[in-house]
Every structure is written in C-alpha cells, then in structure tokens.
C-alpha cells in the first residue's frame, strides 16, 4: 500500500482552487522551529557570558596602593 499524500486546498490569485502538497511542510516547520530555539539559546549564552566580563571589582579584592602619595607629586 502506498502512503497517502496530504494536500491543502487554497484559492490562488486567479480565484481557482489549487492543491498544494503539505507533506514536507510540517517537517520544515519543525526544522525551522528547532533552529530558532537553538539560536535563542546561543544568544542567551552570549549575553550571559558578556555580562560576566563587565562586573565591577569586588570590594574584598586586594588592591595595592600606589608607590607614592599625591602629596609627593606636588612638592
């Protein structure tokens, strides 16, 4: 037995009913959706990694003082 193909009937620009094969249409819809979801995931990972580089230094981090004081520069 052969598989039955699915057709969608719609009106074309000439007001005639036209049969459009939709067997592969659903498969392509799923493919496009999966690519869209993957791109969103990549975009979120890029955004979260970019904010990690922009965080200000923590107050608990040790910072060495300059080797001279500003008063020494004036004299």
Look at residue 25 and tell me if it is in a domain: yes
Look at residue 57 and tell me if it is in a domain: no
3-state secondary structure of 7: strand
Confidence (pLDDT) at 36: 92
Q: Give the Å distances, CA to CA, from 67 to 6, 62, 74.
A: 80, 15, 15
Confidence (pLDDT) at 17: 66
Look at residue 3 and tell me if it is in a domain: yes
Confidence (pLDDT) at 29: 85
Domain that holds residue 17: 1-51
Of 22, 49, 47, 44, nearest to 36 (Cα)? 44
pTM above 0.75, yes or no: no
Look at residue 64 and tell me if it is in a domain: no
Is pLDDT at 1 greater than 60 in this prediction?
no
C-alpha to C-alpha distance for 51 and 65, rounded to whole angstroms = 28
Residue range 24-71, pLDDT digits in tens: 777 888 889 999 999 999 988 888 876 666 666 666 666 666 666 666
Look at residue 59 and tell me if it is in a domain: no
Look at residue 34 and tell me if it is in a domain: yes
Q: How many domains does the chain have?
A: 1
């Amino acid at each position: 037995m052969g598989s039955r193909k699915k057709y969608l009937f719609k009106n074309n620009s000439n007001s005639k009913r036209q049969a459009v094969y939709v067997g592969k249409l659903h498969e392509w819809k799923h493919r496009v959706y999966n690519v869209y979801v993957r791109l969103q995931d990549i975009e979120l990972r890029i955004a979260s990694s970019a904010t990690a580089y922009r965080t200000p230094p923590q107050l608990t981090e040790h910072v060495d003082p300059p080797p001279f004081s500003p008063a020494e520069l004036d004299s």
